[in-house]
Chains A and B, each alone.
Chain A
Amino acid sequence: MYSKFALALGTALLTLLGAAQAQEAVEIGVVVELSGAGAPAGTNWRDGIRIAVDEINAEGGILGKPVKVTEYDTQTDPQISRALVQKAIDGSAYAIWGTIYSGSTLVNMLVAQQNSVPQFVGSEAPTIVEKGNPFVFRTSSGAQKGVPALVPYFKDTLKAKKVGVAWVNNEFGRGGRNVFIAEMKKAGIEVLADVPSEQAQTDYASDVSKLKQSGADAVFVYMNQEESARFLIEAKKQGLSMPLVGEVTLTEAKVIELAGPAAEGAIAHVGITATADQVEGIAAFREKFVKTFKRVPTHDAIKGYIGAWTTKYVTELVGKFDGEAFSEKMHGLCLPATKYPRILLDTCWDNRGEMSRPSFMVQVRNGSPVVIGTVPAN
């Protein structure tokens, strides 16, 4: 009698324990720029993740466990970001989502690497994937893949012979500027003006006047959001007439909102954009984002969203929560959008964590970015 009762009690306890374990949440650390110069990018990244996490949890979480996210504000400070990645890992984070500023990522990704924790970043500096870190993965192509996609536009569409480059002097800007200058040299296009500016710079009068004086046929603008907006405002003030072409940020919703009419006509190559609503998944994400946050998502929001969903897809492919197995699976992995719809576009990662997917050329027309062409995955 007693043995039967003990067996039943034991079975019940084990079942309860199992159920409790199944319900134990998987911790994720969102370490991102929520204040400081990177706040526009970081806030969008976080909000894209919030949408993804709601969806993932509504679909049963990851391997049956709900996702619990803790958000950490780096204040756009690399050293703080490093401490926060450590704090997230100390809090048992299974993965890190962030950071966006390359200068921060370069500092904090070592912490995730040392702890074998997969990290999805929004950073685009080429150096991120050149450090041999097997745990870092991009959510958009690096500048060394994105910037070369612009060369045909400068050469064939604009027929530019001489160009200028205006760039922000941080890890992101320097990386893009170096790739651009190398690509222009290869394409036989002369770089007449090379104009660096500082992060959070407010006065662009001298920068714009140098470009205006240079006699360039077009200008490549490679800056963060607020700097891009201030540059466009000054360019309009001084009547800078040549085409302004950028990579990703120049035509972002936040830049257009800040620069207003000064953003009109700006052109950019974007890895992913909420305006590409011919893609079903992007249109659905945009609709949900606008409904939730009452604003249009930027590419950083989509990057955060993709990072979160990739974590779910790949963990379930691996079948367990194991950072090293996750990292191994990611290298050389391709996720087709037909089978993994929340990845939005067919996406591949190489053995360094670099990603590849189709991209778009957009131009600001009547206050909105409009897709003017597509660029195949490279």
Chain B
Amino acid sequence: MMSQFLQVLLSGLATGSIYALVAIGFALVWQAAQTINFAQGEFVMLPAFLVLVGLNYFDLPLWGALLFGLAMSILILGAAFKKLVVEPILPHGGITLVIATIALGILIRESVKEFYSAEGQPFPSIFPSDPINIFGAVVSLQDILNLVLSLGIVVLLTLFLNRTRTGRCMQATAQNPAVAEILGVDVKRMVLYTFLINAALAALASFLITPVYLAKFSNGETLGLIAFIAAIIGGFNQIRGALVGGLLIGVLDNLVATYVTAEYRAALPLILLILIILVRPQGILGTPEGRAV
């Protein structure tokens, strides 16, 4: 029984930490552009297919294909997204940009379906998929390594944002771009960095989750929704909030499916969302944002 609990908890934490990477992306884009990127799920789906292109069309080894996928993701989902979608549309208002990201999501999804078919594709695992024995409990090594890597990335990102000059400039830009510019911060460059980091996080989440979910054009629909809810639950304006939201959904989903009911597991994130909006609208770790008119 203890072994089952450990495995379920571990699987929940591992999946939740991957949700957290995607949710952090939501928070970063919100802070940089005051908009919600509804193509975020597709930003996680696409890098896996870029890796498959590296493997199958350029005959790269796995590590080479992963680097290719990461670089292409940063280029397409970071730089090109900012230059071709965000910059031209943002002056027309946040809502216009939100609609543009919805359209972008559909475009990415349908393009992948057209190019790579509607069928799921196998995706190689970065980590060994054999289980290991810890104090008598047989648990998944892949889950442990996924969790360690995801949390490691979050810690590094937090250190980068809080302990480096560039990170603090990015935070200043997010809080008040006008004042940051007066103080000599290269605001445009900081915003670009935010988009590049979001693309890299999405790519890493993609590399970790696709070996289990399989590479499929529709993967972004569920992932995007869960990560969006995780970001709201944790607090949309806080990176650590997105982390807490992701882990919470991952763990609760697995525990409820194992010990309560599997039939209503899809409803769980939505129930959590309603509860949080009713009880603490700014999210578990979020801070209230005042808006003046």
- Whether the Cβ atoms of A230 and B213 lie closer than 8 Å is yes
Main secondary structure on A side of the interface with B: helix
* B257 proximity list for chain A (CB < 8 A): 206-207
B129 adjacent to A197 (CB under 8 Å): no
Known: A35-B113, A195-B262, A238-B131. Contact between A226 and B120, CB under 8 A? yes
By a CB distance below 8 angstroms, the chain B residues around A230 are 212-214
B residues 196-216 touching A (CB-CB < 8 Å): 211-214, 216
Instruction: Determine if B120 and A40 form an interchain contact, defined as CB atoms under 8 angstroms apart.
Output: yes
Interface size on B, residues (CB 8 A): 39
Interface residues of B in 208-252 (CB under 8 A from A): 211-214, 216, 218-219, 222
| Cβ-based interface call for B7 (8 A) | yes
- Distance of A233 Cα from B215 Cα, bound (Å): 13
The contact of A197 among B8, B214, B219, B262, by CB within 8 Å, is: B262
Q: How far is the CA of A212 from the CA of B1 in the complex (A)?
A: 10
Cβ of B262 and Cβ of A206 under 8 Å apart?
yes
Whether, in the assembled complex, A213 has its beta carbon less than 8 Å from a beta carbon of chain B, the answer is yes
Q: Which of A227-250 contact B (CB under 8 A)?
A: 229-230, 233-234, 236-239
A46: min CB distance to chain B, Å: 12
Contact B15–A205 (Cβ < 8 Å): yes
**Which residues in chain A, 48-107, are within 8 Å of chain B measured between CB atoms?**
none
Q: Is the Cβ of B119 less than 8 Å from the Cβ of A203?
A: no
Which residues in B have their C-beta under 8 angstroms from that of A203?
A: 11, 15, 212-213, 253-254
Question: Is A257 at the interface (CB under 8 A from chain B)?
Answer: yes
Q: Please, which residues of chain A bring their CB within 8 A of the CB of B258?
A: 206, 209-210
Residue A43 CB within 8 A of the other chain: yes
Expressed in whole angstroms, the minimum distance between the Cβ of A229 and any Cβ of chain B is 6
* Cβ–Cβ < 8 Å partners of A226 in chain B: 120, 214, 216
Tell me whether A342 is interfacial, beta carbon within 8 Å. no
Nearest residue (CB) in A for B12 is A205
CB nearest neighbor in B for A44: B119
- B122/A258 in contact, CB under 8 A: yes
Query: For residue A238, which residues in chain B have a CB less than 8 angstroms away from its CB?
Result: 7, 131, 138-140
B142 in the interface (beta carbon within 8 A): yes
Q: Which residue, A195, A226, A258, A261, has most C-beta atoms of chain B within 10 A?
A: A258
Any A CB within 8 A of the CB of B289: no
**Which residues of the partner chain B approach A210 to less than 8 Å between Cβ atoms?**
4, 258
Cβ-based interface call for A36 (8 A): yes
Please give the distance in Å from B150's CB to the nearest CB on chain A.
Answer: 15
Provide the residues of chain B in CB contact with A262, threshold 8 Å: 129
Closest residue of chain A to B259 (Cβ to Cβ) is: A206
The answer to whether residues A260 and B122 also contact, given A196-B263, A237-B142 and a CB cut-off of 8 A, is yes
Greatest chain B CB density within 10 A among A35, A203, A236, A257 is at A203
> Which residues does chain A contribute within 8 Å of B3, judged by CB atoms?
213
> B155 contacts which chain A residues (CB < 8 A)?
none
Task: Give min CB distance, A368 to chain B, whole Å.
Answer: 15
- Measured CB to CB, the closest approach of chain B to A242, in angstroms, equals 13
Please give me the residue from chain A that is nearest to B222 by CB atom. A202
Q: Does chain A have a CB within 8 A of B176? A: no
The residue in chain A whose Cβ has the minimal distance to the Cβ of B223 is A202
Cα–Cα distance between A209 and B12 once the two chains are bound (Å): 12
Give the contacts of A197-230 with B (CB-CB under 8 A).
197-198, 200, 202-203, 205-207, 209-210, 212-213, 226, 229-230
Residue of A whose beta carbon sits closest to that of B214: A258
Q: Please, which residues of chain A bring their CB within 8 A of the CB of B107? A: none
A233 touches B119 (CB 8 A): no
Task: Write the chain B residue with the least CB distance to A210.
Answer: B258
Which residues between 238 and 293 of chain B lie within 8 Å of chain A, taking CB atoms?
Answer: 253-254, 257-258, 262-263, 265-266
Bound CA span A24–B243, Å: 65
Name the one of B122, B213, B253 contacting A257, with C-beta atoms under 8 angstroms: B122
Cβ–Cβ < 8 Å partners of B213 in chain A: 202-203, 230
Alpha-carbon distance between A261 and B128 when the two chains are bound, in angstroms: 11
List chain A residues, Cβ under 8 A from B158: none
Closest-by-CB residue of B relative to A213 is: B4
Given pairs A205-B7, A205-B143, A230-B214, 4 additional interface contacts (CB within 8 A): A205-B8, A205-B12, A230-B212, A237-B143
Interface residues, chain A, with chain B CB atoms under 8 Å away:
34-36, 39-40, 43, 169, 195-198, 200, 202-203, 205-207, 209-210, 212-213, 226, 229-230, 233-234, 236-239, 254, 257-262
Residues on B lying within 8 angstroms of A by beta carbon are 1, 3-4, 7-8, 11-12, 15, 113, 117-122, 129-131, 138-140, 142-143, 211-214, 216, 218-219, 222, 253-254, 257-258, 262-263, 265-266
3 tightest A-B CB contacts, nearest first: A205-B11, A239-B131, A206-B257
